[in-house]
Amino acid sequence: MDLVGRAVELNAVDELLSLAHAGHGTSALLRGPAGAGKSALLRAVLARARAAGDLVLAAGADRWEADFPLCLLRQLFSERLLGQEIDRGRELTSVSAGGRAPGVPAAAVRSLGRHETRYLGYDAVDELYRVAVGLSEKRPLVIAIDDLHWADTASARWLAYLLRRIGGERVLVLGTTAPAEVWPADLADRFAHHIVLDGLSIPDVTTIAGALLGVPVAEGVGAACHAATAGNPFLVHALLRGLRQGGVPPTVSTVRALLERPPAEIVSWLRLVLAELGPGAAELAGTLAALGDEVELDLAGAIRGLSPERAARLADALTEAGLLNWRRDQVSLRQPLVRAAAAADLSQEARQHVHGGAARLLHARGAGAEQVGAELLRAGPLGETWAAQVLELAAVEAVTAGRTGHAVRYLRAALREQLGNRQRAGILVRLGSVLSHLDVAGAVAALRRALTVSTDPAQRAEIARQLAGLLCLSRRHEDGLRVLTEVREQCADPEVTEALLVGEALLALLHSSTAAARLTPEAGAELPPVLWSVRAILAGSERDQVLTWASAEADTALLAGPATALALTIAGANAAAAEETDRLFDAASSPADLAFALAVRTEVGYRLGRLTQCRDDARACLNALVRFGPRYAHGLAVTAATRLADTLSETGDVEGAHRLYEEILAADQLPGGLAGAWLLAGRGRLRIATGAAAEGVEDLLCAGRRLDAWRMPNPAVVPWRSAAAIGLATLGRLGTAKALAMEELELARAWGSPQAIGGALRVSGVLARGSAAVELLREAARVLAEAEAPLEHARALADLGTALRKTNQLAEARDQLRLAGALAQQCGATVVDRRIRAELRVSGARPRRQAHSGLEALTPTELRVANLAAHGLSNREIAARLFVVRRTVELHLSSAYRKLGITSRTELPPP
């Protein structure tokens, strides 16, 4: 099996033997990397030569015998050889310049046995040459020296003398060599032929595996062995012996498993090979193995204290030995098995030294944080200030690239460094943020630890905010509120205390019935601006002051961002609110922040009539929250799901809306706080719209009782009265319905939001009859035309068209209905548009067909995607902005291109 795949090389040497037999003396040097099978090939050739009757003089050099004078010559011309030749009836002779002198023992050969002989002069060298030629008189002579690179100087000088003079003799000189620091290149040049041994092929390796293991080899095993060894014969045999000794079946997986624990035979062999390459070779190889693939050579050398010149020489030697691969200025150990053996030969201390040195050098050279961080992970704590900073930066880069698992490892490694309390708390906060995507319990633990470590009031407030948010996301609302309260009570900083108070109040507003108490100032105290604004919004008063505060964004207290956006939209400034929600989305730094941004953007999108965006944002919000526990545990999920149900209902998916409410309430009681009232009102609207008026009215009245108990009458927040009035009218309770509608109109006027006033006017008009209905609906349409609420405006125009038709004002009815239809199509409100079309037919008009091309044909989402693309955003950037996958953006753009009759974004009309 040693000669599988070596037929070409054997044939080449056979031809040289034939030449020598014919009196054309020659020489050949077998070259190749360590383990290539040079010695095995030489043994096979010598066996053939002996079988053919040739005289074979063989010797082997060794690195430990290289300093012994005449070592190889003494092996070649040994007493044993002399005895053998005499026994064969031949006396050892030399050849003089003038002829042959048979029967005269060569004095030079006798002198080799003298202990004092350390150097051969010219006469002795020439006489030994003549002895060799004399030996070839009777039969061809083959002189073979294995590992010639370790030859002693005197023997090498004689060999060089011989190689120049054998041309007409029956002599063949063979040698093997491997890369070594001491090898004289000019001696190699004296050989007439060089035979280079390369790695074996996959079929050759497969053949060897089957023969050596003695069992059928599974498909792919040969290729796996070849991949691990690069076809190096020694490594192939050693790997297969390892499999056989381990008693495991030869499979691809068992071959790969040996890379984890390479056989000791391979580790020992590698030590010997590297020792032959000179000082520093083993250290350089170990460094390359520890650092992994493709390492800059000067970096690896510097870690081990090697000069660039020395590192380059060693790299050349490793390359010639077949152990090194180059890729531009980077190097790596060629065979995975060699890499594993070199790594296995390193102590843990040596590994850490390599990785620590690499980290320091890379950091000094300005390498990227993740590149340095990867080395720091394997180096262990360095106890140096910069290490924690780099690891934290590496975590940021990993999160940006979506590798949250790597980020966790970087941050945990940073925590093992020497840190001050503030820095340690900051890293723990970042760890909590990253873990919240993977392990909520772990994130909570990290934030609790950060809260324990930190002593800075502002930092503790931020930690408390994040911790409370995670606890609420995990259905632990009271625990979250308790964290904020405890940190606030321990804080002496007035600004931080105020921020924490705001956080408590806003979280309670979503989840708890205690919100009203938290929004009531203590005697002699004033509420912070955020809470004052929230209280004014819920009470339905001081709209102008609320708008002034929200527009100026004067308060930076805890959770003020979402409160600002909600204040703007409830006050009727929907366009400004949309800008604020986009800013919140872009600035979101934690899952809780992202969920808040999406939930608020869902609400603003619905009020702006952007139903497709509202649906997408609501689903994204729910997906962002689901990893923290039950899908609807958080009030944000309930509010987003309610608007999602509204959108499904508006677009014709009534069954989907019903299923959504069933999911919310399937395994839980009705949520507390504003989220519960929001849910009741939404389900009530759906029930009334689908014929279950009694159940719907009960839901709405229950929501109203909750809100009234909490002193939250503002219809711009939850317009439960007008929705209940529609249901009551359906049940025949018109008087009660009108009273509720009128109460809502009065509250809406007191608040002053055009959207709230227009909505209340519309319901009052629907409940009225004749000209009174027309006048109320005209006023509703007029008010809503000034509002930023196209969907509510479409409803008012549709109801006005119906009222005009009923009073026989058909021409104007058709005009109003057409305007309503255009707005409904713009919003994607399928149900409203369907009702408008039916009303147009009743009024005697033919409904205009929906546009199938041009800008009017684009859905709201298609239009938004097209506008973003026209602004120069890439598909990836658009997907991030809209919180959808890139494939969704591509589908919307393709649809937009088709409708606009274009083929690329460069043809998109300006936004």
Greater confidence (666 vs 674) lies with 674
pLDDT per residue as tens digits for the range 195-211: 999 889 999 998 888 88
Looking at residue 28, its pLDDT comes to 95
The DSSP element (H or E) to which 894 belongs, if any, is: helix 886-900
Would the pTM count as exceeding 0.75?
A: no
Mean pLDDT calculated for residue range 181-187: 66
Q: How confident is the model at residue 558 (pLDDT cuts 50, 70, 90)?
A: very low
870 neighbors 833 (Cβ within 8 angstroms)? no
C-alpha span between 185 and 188 (Å, rounded) = 5
Closest CA to 477 of 500, 504, 438: 504
Is the domain defined by 469-710 classed in CATH 1.25.40.10?
yes
Q: How confident is the model at residue 514 (pLDDT cuts 50, 70, 90)?
A: low
Looking at residue 99, its pLDDT comes to 44
172 neighbors 25 (Cβ within 8 angstroms)? yes
Mean pLDDT of the chain: 84
pLDDT per residue as tens digits for the range 770-821: 999 999 999 999 999 988 899 999 999 999 999 999 999 999 999 899 999 9
Q: Is the pLDDT of residue 605 over 90?
A: yes
Percent of the chain with pLDDT over 90: 37
Looking at residue 488, its pLDDT comes to 83
Looking at residue 555, its pLDDT comes to 42
SS (H, E, C) 637-706: HHHHHHHHHHHHHHCCCHHHHHHHHHHHHHCCCCCCHHHHHHHHHHHHHHHHHCCCHHHHHHHHHHHHHH
Q: How confident is the model at residue 137 (pLDDT cuts 50, 70, 90)?
A: confident
Mean pLDDT calculated for residue range 557-565: 64
813 neighbors 801 (Cβ within 8 angstroms)? yes
Mean pLDDT calculated for residue range 709-738: 93
C-alpha span between 688 and 707 (Å, rounded) = 20
Looking at residue 23, its pLDDT comes to 92
Q: Which single residue is written with the structure tokens 């390193």?
A: 346
| The CATH fold of domain 7-86+111-196 | Rossmann fold (3.40.50)
SS3 of 533, please?
A: helix
Q: How confident is the model at residue 557 (pLDDT cuts 50, 70, 90)?
A: very low
Q: How confident is the model at residue 750 (pLDDT cuts 50, 70, 90)?
A: very high
Domain ranges of the chain: 7-86+111-196, 200-261, 469-710, 740-843, 855-907
Count Cβ neighbours within 10 Å for each residue of 761-783 and write b for 16 or more, e otherwise. Answer: bbbbbbbbeeeebbebbbbbbeb
Q: Is the pLDDT of residue 767 over 60?
A: yes
Q: Is the pLDDT of residue 61 over 60?
A: yes
pLDDT per residue as tens digits for the range 815-873: 899 999 988 988 989 999 999 999 999 988 765 555 555 777 777 778 888 888 888 88
Say which DSSP state 851 is in. Answer: P
Greater confidence (522 vs 507) lies with 507
The listed CATH number (1.10.10, 1.10.3470, 1.10.8, 1.25.40) that belongs to domain 740-843: 1.25.40
Mean pLDDT calculated for residue range 49-66: 91
Q: Picking from 10-14, 358-362, 470-474, which range would have the lowest pLDDT averaged per residue?
A: 470-474
Two domains, one topology: 7-86+111-196 and 469-710? no
854: left (phi over 0), alpha (psi -120 to 50) or beta: left
Q: How confident is the model at residue 885 (pLDDT cuts 50, 70, 90)?
A: low
SS3 of 92, please?
A: coil
Locate 767 and state its tokens: 């409940």
Q: Is the pLDDT of residue 88 over 70?
A: no
pLDDT per residue as tens digits for the range 573-603: 998 888 888 888 888 877 777 888 899 999 9
Q: How confident is the model at residue 559 (pLDDT cuts 50, 70, 90)?
A: very low
790 neighbors 611 (Cβ within 8 angstroms)? no
The listed CATH number (1.20.950.20, 1.20.5.440, 3.40.50.12780, 1.10.10.10) that belongs to domain 855-907: 1.10.10.10
Mean pLDDT calculated for residue range 358-382: 88
Mean pLDDT calculated for residue range 492-504: 75
Mean pLDDT calculated for residue range 138-162: 92
